[in-house]
Amino acid sequence: MKRIVLLISLMILFSTISIFAQNRTTIYGNVGVENANIRVLNTQYGTSSDVKGNYSFSIKSDKDIKLLYSCIGYQDTTIMIRHKELKKDSVNISFEMRPVYYMLPEVGISGEKVIRYREEKYVM
């Protein structure tokens, strides 16, 4: 009798673990930029893109999420993923990040040499 109770308990335990494991969604894609930061707003989840711009991470969520894509020299991009999309096993989000150009003020360069005289003092 104890074996049957133990066996049933283990079956229930492992069946609930497999149910929870199925609720995770893998978000993957390509942003075309290496070392871009990808993070889920208001959470601790996130990752960085590799040398080719590919990224991948898993998340468990029961509501809509917003992804923030950022990289130095590129425009930040926010993408919302609806809850019904997160019910799938994987979601592919690929796009090209847009570079940001800044106009810097002009810089003047002069060719004068600065001469500094130093008085030498000898100690005896």
In a domain, 67, yes or no: yes
Task: Residue 82: give its domain's CATH number.
Answer: 2.60.40.1120
What is the pTM (predicted TM-score) of this model? Answer: 0.64
Per residue of the chain (124 residues), give pLDDT as tens. 777 766 677 777 776 554 554 578 899 999 999 999 999 999 888 999 999 999 999 988 888 999 999 999 999 999 999 988 888 888 999 999 999 988 888 888 877 777 777 777 777 7
Whole-angstrom Cα distance, residue 107 to residue 20? 60
In a domain, 108, yes or no: no
Domain boundaries, position 33: 24-102
State residue 22's pLDDT score.
55
